[in-house]
Structure 1
Amino acid sequence: MRNNEPVAKKDVNKKEDCSPKSAALPMGTSFMVARTHLVRDLISRGSEAGIVLICAPHGFGKTGLLLQYADEVRSDPARGAVSIMDVTGFSLEELDALLDRGEELIALSPHPLLAIDNAPCLDPPALKAFVEHLRKMRERGFEFIITCRPNNHALVRATGDSIKVSAQSLKVRPKEYAEWARTFSISSSLDVYRLTQGVPLLVASLQTVTERQEESETMLDLAVIDIYRSVLNEIQGDCGGLADLIQLMLLMGQGSIADMERCGVRVDVRDLSRIARDYPLFGFDPASREFSCINAEGSSLRRICEQIAAMRPELVTRAARILLKADRVDRAAMLIDQHLDAERGLAILQQFPLKLALAGHATLISAIVARYEALPGQREIGVGALLGAYAAALTSGDIALARLTARELSRRAQRIDDEIDSADWEAACALSEMWTGCRNIELPQSPRFAAESPSLPVVARLRAHVRFQSDFLRGRLDPADPGRVPTGASEADDLDVSSLLDLTDLLLGEVASGTLDKLDERDQLLCAMEPIVRSRRLRPLLDRLRLVVSARRMLVGLPVTDERSFADASTGAIRAGDQSTQLLCLLLEGWQDLMVGQVVNAEFRGTQVLRLADKEQKLLRSWAHLLERTAHVMNTSRVAIREEAEMLDLAENDISVAQAWANALLLSSARFDAELSAWYSLHKNKLLDPGMRLIARLAMCALGERADAMRRLIPDQLRRRYDLQNDSEPKGADPLLGVPDPSITHEVGQLNIRLFGGFKAERNGHTLTDELWRRRKTSVLASRLVLGMGSFVSRRTLAEELWPEYDYGHARSNLYSALSMLRRAMGQRRGGPQYIITQGEGVAVNSEYVASDVMRMALLTREVLLGRSGVSGEQILEMCLKIEELYVGPLYVPDAADSAYFVRVRKAMGSRFLDCMIRGVEIAIEQEDFSSAAWMIEAALKEDRTREDVIRSAMRVYDLGGRRREAVELYQSHLYYLDHELKASPESETCAIYERIVRKSRNRDIM
């Protein structure tokens, strides 16, 4: 419903002249939802008070409610006299003149109604005179309903004896939402109150919302922009703090009043009361003092932020500081990047040097510094901003910049204590400890900060990561560390560097401890974080994410889809001087080569790691030893392996877990089962060590059958853990069986055209009954394009088929009008879903937004009749039952155009339907599912009782179901049809089935 639409200035003295018309509602009366309960309640109260005042912002349907109120009064036989007037921008003299002309209604009705829309803001003397005029007319029997906006609060106070209707009362209530959904064809799958907060204009805009509109602005986005801009225009003249408060709310998107007050913003309780009462567009909760704007993270609110930044850039700076203190770094980074100049951005970086960097906004920090240095005559960058640039350089992997900023920080070491917060300095020191292999990037020492020990979670996570790097490779990792926080980002931001590092440590810890069985939602989280990290150009973090994801995929038996992950991580480790990570990547590359059959490369990499790894790096050495021995066994002949196995000292006890597994796999490959049994008995504890389980099963998988003897020795309760199966990823259902049912609501915003059994158009599960769909050419054109199965149909073809009696020029003109009418009927708008698309001379329906039962049936029949390999009989039977459910009747054939094409398609679809039913009957008989067979054969007979293959299948089904009399009657009726209509005889196969049924019946009678 549109709000505050312009209404023609007129006096209405007759019933037929005061009904809501298109001038008041440009969208048409069919788009207006009757708010019956609200109107009747207002009429009962308004008749006593004499004045009803509706005060609400744009978008809440004030004008619509006023028109419905007036229409209800006009339809009352006891009254009937109504005058509707739009007084936008009127002066006192013009208002008095209108009221004087309205006094003529007293002759037509004892209690006439004057409906005044958009009452203007008047100065105090004029307002007092206007209200006195209203009260005098009320005493003479007049009744008033007046609408105004919240900025006209002087009128609200002056009419203290009136009935007040606030914006909260105009919101769409849950009880009346069903009528709105039916009127506007709103999908039931939408989160209505999150998207609209119940604002009538926004609820109506949900009609064309679709999940596929991620880049373009929807009708809902445009409506949100329109509403918030009107609010900004209203509060421009507010002399209090309401304007600043509302603009801060829009800039922040969501948050709490407490966040503002912590940053020194003084919030008046009266302003909060006005927001809750007059502007329920911000989701303000008086109890928790929290707010949430509509579409807080969408593009519509960014457009509003641009308008605010152009007028009040200092408010953007204040909002960014509030967001940073509330740990909503991503929103603050968006404001800084899009709406602040270099000086203001650098000032914020000076105050919060580490928050932007640890949230992954290194590119933003670099851009701020670069823009500031490009300014003419700029001052020296502060120490805080310099520390932020240092942290950004480390998180982005820019070692040269890190050295430069570290050198500059050392030069200004005396100023660090005065300009840097202790918590920021501790976080920067913890971040630099991750890069101990790089020279000349150390931060200077600070005695004051050394005495302070802030226990911030981010510092704890960064230092825990440094400890993990050392403990992981040395095999001293405790995977059950209670201090670990397995999250990839904070609640408010997309990315938190410290939390994401902590998550990768946790997942690698499961690899080291052998507790990894299959991938889970944490691995999915890492995969989801990868494009975010890549877009922010955080190269070190991206390399680590890719390394962890690929390593876990390989260790559960899944193919490594990111083949360059280990190599790229190794390159990054070389640049950072991290030899331990470089060796780990080299080792994982070796196992990757082994699994794809590159045995020589795998053996070489295992030997290199053994030669370069420190003795304390036990995990690297054990994995490398098993890699080298496994590759050696795979690359050596059986004779040489047996000779080597004979040289083993089976009584040796002082061996490592990796050596125990290497000797066991050697004995298994040599087929020395007795020796292997003895070896397993002596070293059972080492062979079943959980820390070696993942690598051991990877080695057994690479050896294949040669490791079978070792597999048989593993206890039954543990054997599943040592079998590498590719079942870690859930297998989806057969897509053919997932063909959407016509009774199920499809994707939001999608149109569904049904042509079997007649023409029917639906959107979001609601049948479209608009007047445009009642026109013949609209339904015929839509049906013809749908039958094209998504292909383009030339305009000439459409013109000749739909208007065969016209010449091409007139037919093409009619086609242009029909296409425009069809787009309007489908709800196609610029920036919204494009249901009809054109290319050159071709026209087609967009299969992304238009679905049909014909398309679904074509997909199913293709799979049933072409006999796709790998589809079981149960799946084919289920698809046949789906086809029977879709085919509710013959294809729609219009009578308003050349129907030859429709008739051909109807015959083809009917023939395919019968073929599928016969195929389904055959499979059902094979599976002894006689109920399904009977169901499908009855559907086939309903479609065509003259096809011989249908008759034969029906006779078989009747025979198996004990319905032989019906089989005989069906055969006799078929004979009659052939003799009288075609002068022909039945096929020999049909006769043979009939004779068998009759013979079986006679034998039973004899017995």
Structure 2
Amino acid sequence: MAGTPGSHSASFWAIIKITFPSSADSFSPGRPAVDEILQLFTHTGDGVWAVDADHRIVLWSPVAEEILGYAGEEALGQLCYELLAGHDLEGRPFCHARCSVMEHARRGEPVRSFDLLAHGRDGSVHHVNVSILAVPQESAPEKPIALVHLFRRVGSSSPGPPPLRIYLLGDTMVQRASGSIVGGPLWRRAKVRALLAYLSLQRGQAVHRNALIDALWPDLEYPAALHNLNTTVYNLRRSLEPTLKRGADSSYIHYEGDCYSLNSGPVHWLDAVVFETDIMLARREADPVRAAALYREALALYRGDFMSDLLGHDIRWCWMERERLRELYLAALEELGELLEQQGQEEEASRLYLKALAVDACRETACRRLMRLAMRRGDRAAAVAHYRRLSEALRRELEVVPSQETRLLYEVAMRGG
């Protein structure tokens, strides 16, 4: 739908008039104060939607329809977080039932404008900037009865490519917006998958071709490495878009000025990014129940070591990322276990520590936690058994003995103290 902002006034106001619910905590039709406030938006060039206290859309402007594709009758009455499925620029879900924007407004706190990746009707993702206006109640101005969202496009007005879901924890897998899985003989080539992973981790930032060569073919002469890069880029484009015609531009792999990037990088969901973000948020969360939930969400994403299907290939940056993410996973297992111990859930905590030792049999911190739990319940034999398994793993794999702290704990278990 095109036109000047003023041309939208009639349809905009008609939508407002027919969509106010009548609950005490949301809009009431015909209330002059509310109507006067909302009428201010009839000439704005921004897209506008408003939600009531239950997150249901009660206002949807023609400019919102123009940007996101949903007609007013499709949007009205829908839960905003289900319709828009918004993510932040890191690919983490932003719109959900426990909306932070709504919580701030209910506490009377100002909400700064923010960027959002909102899903349009055709599945495309739109980068928009959103400003919030709380519509107050007449009887209690500090308590809003609705939130008005004014939004405008950021950057190019043309929608990016349909978002991908990229799984790098465990075997590499990419799912298209249609639900189909990327596959085929070209995709099965290790460097094709490694190239996509490298670009996806840059979150849309361009990478010079020389940096890609250093990451994927560090030991080859430059002409041969450049040839390999060009071939691998072609194979990746064909894997992601099997119907792409020869010579046509890829919707996903962008090339400009000797640099490559994954087009609309932040739009694409990436398990490794969500995994790290959830752990970071869990560590900052003051509420232990909420922190535990965030840890669980993160740990559920860890299907295995980073790009485990490339374990037999000598790709050095993959190896370093694999070690870093594995250590983060092991630390998160122990941190969640500690939280659960504090909540009296010692059995589940023990399972988490055993899970950590199943990945790294030499992890002394997890072993000591298990030993302390066993001693706490009076099972000295289990504590001793944990120590001996650790000691054997350290001798076999690293040719070292347990640390002094672990040995002292073992001596306490042996004495029965």
The letter of the residue matching 1:911 is E
AA matched with 2:175: E
- C-alpha contact 2:204 2:266 (8 A) present in aligned 1: no
1:949 and 2:337 matched: no
Pairing partner for 1:763 from 172, 176, 194: 176
1:922 aligned partner: 338
Which residue, out of 859, 862, 881, partners 2:280? Answer: 862
1:964–1:919: structure 2 CA closer, same or farther, 3 Å change rule?
same
Taking structure 1 as reference, are residues 873 and 897 closer, same or farther at Cα in structure 2, changes over 3 Å only? same
| Alpha carbons 1:801, 1:897 under 8 Å: kept | no
1:948–1:789 CA distance, 2 compared to 1 (3 A): farther
TM-score normalised over the length of structure 2? 0.61
Structure with the bigger RCO (C-alpha within 8 Å, sep 6+) is 2
Q: 1:819 to 1:953 in 2, by over 3 A?
A: same
The answer to whether the aligner puts 1:988 opposite 2:404 as a matched pair is yes
Which protein is richer in helix relative to its size? 1
Distance 1:988 1:507 in 2: 74
Provide the residue aligned with 1:508 in structure 2. Answer: 32
2:276/2:298 contact within 8 Å kept: no
Which of these residues, 926, 937, 952, is aligned with residue 353 of structure 2?
Answer: 937
Of 198, 220, 226, the match for 1:806: 220
Structure 1 position 950, deviation (Å): 2.0
Specify the code of the residue in structure 1 equivalent to 2:174. Answer: A
Structure with greater strand percent: 2
Please point out which of 255, 267, 271 is paired with 1:853. 271
Q: 1:781 to 1:931 in 2, by over 3 A?
A: same
1:750 aligns with 2:172: no
Indicate conservation of the 8 Å contact 2:254/2:261, yes or no. Answer: yes
Q: Deviations over 1:585-621 (max 9, x none)?
A: xxxxxxx9xx9xxxxxxxxxxxxxxxxxxxxxxxxxx
Q: Retained in 2: the 8 A contact 1:837–1:843? A: yes
Deviations 1:323-353 (A, max 9, x none): xxxxxxxxxxx8xx9xxxxxxxxxxxxxxxx
SS in 1 for 2:187: helix
CA apart distance, 1:986: 2.6
Q: Within 1, Cα distance between the matches of 2:166 and 2:303?
A: 14
- Alignment correspondent of 1:178: none
Q: Distance in 2 between matches of 1:779 and 1:877?
A: 33
Aligned counterpart in structure 2 of residue 773 of structure 1, from 158, 162, 187: 187
Is residue 844 of structure 1 aligned with residue 261 of structure 2? yes
Deviation at 1:798, TM superposition (A): 1.8
Change over 3 Å in CA distance of 1:531–1:808 after alignment to 2: same
Q: Secondary structure at the match of 1:844?
A: strand
Tell me which residue corresponds to 2:304: 889
1:190-269 to 2 correspondences below 5 Å? none
1:121 alignment counterpart: none
- Identity over aligned residues, as a percent? 20
SS, match of residue 938 in structure 1 = helix
Equivalent residues, number: 319
CA drift of 1:925 comes to: 0.5
Match of 1:835 among 252, 268, 285: 252
- Matched AA of 2:291: I
The one-letter amino acid paired with 2:183 is T
What secondary structure sits across from 1:506 in the alignment?
coil
Q: C-alpha distance in 1, partners of 2:64/2:217? A: 54
1:872 to 272, 279, 287: 287
Structure 2 counterparts to residues 284-433 of structure 1, below 5 A: none
Deviation at 1:361, TM superposition (A): 9.8
Identify the residue that residue 793 of structure 1 maps to in structure 2: 207
Q: What code does the residue aligned with 1:835 have?
A: Y
The whole-number CA distance in structure 2 between the counterparts of 1:497 and 1:921 is 51
CA drift of 1:777 comes to 2.8
For 1:835 and 1:955, how far apart are their aligned partners in 2? 51
CA contact (8 A) 2:53 2:145 kept: no
Give me the whole-angstrom Cα distance separating, in 1, the residues matched to 2:325 and 2:111.
43
Conserved? CA contact 1:921–1:932, under 8 Å = yes
For 1:733-777, what per-residue CA distance to the aligned partner results, in whole angstroms no more than 9, with x for missing partners? xxxxxxxxxxxxxx9943223222322232244433333322333
CA distance, structure 2, for counterparts of residue 974 and residue 497 of structure 1: 68
Deviations 1:365-421 (A, max 9, x none): xxxxxxxxxxxxxxxxxxxxxxxxxxxxxx8xxxxxxxxxxxxxxxxxxxxxxxxxx
Cα separation, partners in 2 of 1:819 and 1:963, compared to 1, 3 Å = farther
Instruction: For residue 928 of structure 1, give the secondary structure of its aligned residue in structure 2.
Output: coil
SS in 2 for 1:768: coil
Q: Aligned partners of 1:501, 1:910: CA distance in 2, in Å?
A: 51
The TM-score with structure 1 as length reference comes to 0.28
- Match for residue 158 of structure 1? none
- Matched AA of 1:753: I
- Let me know the Cα RMSD of the aligned residues: 4.7
SS in 2 for 1:767: coil
Query: Could you tell me which amino acid in structure 2 is paired with residue 815 of structure 1?
Result: L
The one-letter amino acid paired with 1:971 is Y
The aligned counterpart of 1:32 is: none
Structure 2: how far apart are the matches of 1:879 and 1:560?
A: 26
After superposition, the Cα gap between the structure-2 partners of 1:886 and 1:558, relative to the gap in structure 1 and judged at 3 Å, is: closer
Alignment pair present for 1:824 and 2:356: no
In the alignment, the residues of structure 2 paired with residue 817 and residue 803 of structure 1 have an alpha-carbon distance, to the nearest angstrom, of 13
Summarize deviations over 1:432-484 as a string: whole Å, max 9, x none: xxxxxxxxxxxxxxxxxxxxxxxxxxxxxxxxxxxxxxxxxxxxxxxxxxxxx
Please state if 1:529 is matched with 2:64. Answer: no
Question: Structure 2 CA distance, aligned partners of 1:505 and 1:982?
Answer: 73
SS at match of 2:328: helix
Q: Tell me if structure 1 keeps the 8 A contact 2:16–2:58.
A: no
Q: 1:531 to 1:990 in 2, by over 3 A?
A: same
1:36-185 alignment, distance < 5 Å: none
> Which of residues 758, 775, 784 is equivalent to 2:198?
784
Question: 1 CA distance for matches of 2:289 and 2:224?
Answer: 54
> Structure 1: where are the runs of 5+ without partners?
1-296, 298-333, 338-359, 365-394, 396-487, 513-517, 536-555, 563-591, 596-692, 699-723, 731-746
Shift of 1:895: 6.4
Contact 1:752-1:851 at 8 Å conserved across structures? yes
SS in 2 for 1:772: coil
Counterpart of 1:860 in structure 2: which amino acid? D
Q: Which runs of 5+ in 2 are unaligned?
A: 21-26, 37-50, 68-105, 113-134, 149-159
Residue by residue over 1:122-169, the C-alpha shift from the partner in whole angstroms, topping out at 9 and shown as x without a partner, is xxxxxxxxxxxxxxxxxxxxxxxxxxxxxxxxxxxxxxxxxxxxxxxx
- Relative distance call for 1:947 and 1:896 in structure 2 (3 A) is closer
Amino acid at match of 1:938: L
Q: Note closer, same or farther for the CA distance 1:961–1:853 as it changes in structure 2 (3 Å cut).
A: farther
Task: Please state how far the C-alpha of 1:970 moved relative to its aligned partner.
Answer: 1.8
- 1:642-675, Cα deviation, whole Å (9 max, x unpaired): xxxxxxxxxxxxxxxxxxxxxxxxxxxxxxxxxx
- Within 1, Cα distance between the matches of 2:174 and 2:64? 41
How has the CA–CA distance of structure 1 residues 789 and 749 changed in structure 2, closer, same or farther, with 3 Å as cutoff?
closer
Deviation of 1:944 after TM superposition, in Å, equals: 0.5
User: Do the aligned residues in 2 keep the contact of 1:800 with 1:808 (CA within 8 Å)?
Assistant: no
CA offset at residue 969 of structure 1? 1.4
1: CA distance, partners of 2:384 / 2:273:
38
Cα shift readout 1:100-125 (whole Å, capped 9, x = no counterpart): xxxxxxxxxxxxxxxxxxxxxxxxxx
Matched, 1:903 2:319: yes
Q: How far apart, in 2, do the equivalents of 1:792 and 1:898 lie? A: 24
Deviations 1:226-269 (A, max 9, x none): xxxxxxxxxxxxxxxxxxxxxxxxxxxxxxxxxxxxxxxxxxxx
Secondary structure, counterpart of 2:388 in structure 1: helix
Supply the distance in 2 between the matched residues of 1:362 and 1:968 (Cα, whole angstroms): 79
